[in-house]
Amino acid sequence: MTSLSIDIGNTRIKAGVFESNTLERVFNFENMEGLMLFCENLDTNTPIIISSVTNDDLSSFQKDFKNLVILNSSTKLPVINNYKTPETLGNDRLSAVVGAVSLFPGENNLVIDAGTCIKYDFINSQAEYGGGSISPGTEIRFKALNHFTGKLPLVEKSKSFDLIGDSTTNAILSGVMFGTYLEMQGFINLYSEKNDNLKVIITGGDSAFFFDRLKGTIFAEPDLVLKGLFEILKYNAPNL
């Protein structure tokens, strides 16, 4: 059976097409109009789950599709959610830890989602989620340096950055990229000290900038949120 996971983020929209339990294709859309055009070709009985961190109107999906799950704080989950304010928890964070459990069941998992914001989320070997940390992503850091100063230029992120910046542009690049890398490595070290056999899964649009530098057993999974959404969809639609 064909089913669809849709992840509506701050800067991009992704849709994953699953056949049985396998993610077959991933589509990227610039806006909701593109996503809705894509969905016009789907059967109205297609099981769909939508996660959104925006305020986009989803009423057309509710009208057009019979087997639709819109992820919210009331949605049944295949993990234990101990977050104290579940109504404020980002759907992307929740979906990512569910995806981590599906990849490494019975393990301590740390998810690093490097997107507009960088999210660090931990779920233990009993599939109990307690929370994590949120910090600014690289683009926010670059824009902040440009916006809140009089002369610093707006610099674009790069995979190539040196410890010692030999120009103002390279100094900013060093500060933001190394600062982000060291933050990530620091969180990995702290969680590893407290949890045996920690699995670290990195995802998100900026993950490629840091994956090769991070030390430890790190797994890259660009479609972690889509896979987690699919697990939540299956949990709410047992016949899938």
pLDDT digits (tens, 9 = 90+) for 214-233: 987 799 999 999 999 999 99
Query: What is the value of pTM for the model shown?
Result: 0.91
Q: What is the pLDDT of residues 139-172, one digit of tens each?
A: 999 999 999 999 999 999 999 999 999 999 999 9
- Per-residue confidence (pLDDT) for residue 66, from 0 to 100: 86
How many Å apart are CA 130 and CA 121, to the nearest integer? 8
Residue ranges of domains in the chain, CATH in brackets: 103-220 (3.30.420.40)
85-106 b/e (C-beta count within 10 Å ≥ 16 → b)? eeeebbbbbbbbbbbbbbbbee
- State the average pLDDT over residues 187-213: 94
pLDDT class for 64, splitting at 50, 70, 90? Answer: confident
* DSSP, residue by residue, 75-124: S--SSEE--S-GGGS-HHHHHHHHHHHHHSTTS-EEEEEESSEEEEEEE-
Q: Give the active site residues.
A: 92
The answer to whether residue 2 scores a pLDDT higher than 70 is: yes
Q: Coil, helix or strand for 6?
A: strand
The answer to whether residue 240 scores a pLDDT higher than 70 is: no
Residue type, 51: S
How many Å apart are CA 73 and CA 38, to the nearest integer? 27
Q: What is the pLDDT of residues 6-29, one digit of tens each?
A: 999 877 899 999 998 899 999 999
Relative to beta strand 109-114, strand 117-123 is antiparallel
Q: Dig out the tokens for 96 from the structure.
A: 């990512």
Q: Give the distance between the most distant pair of CA atoms in the chain.
A: 60
Q: What is the pLDDT of residues 82-119, one digit of tens each?
A: 999 999 999 999 999 999 999 999 999 999 999 999 99
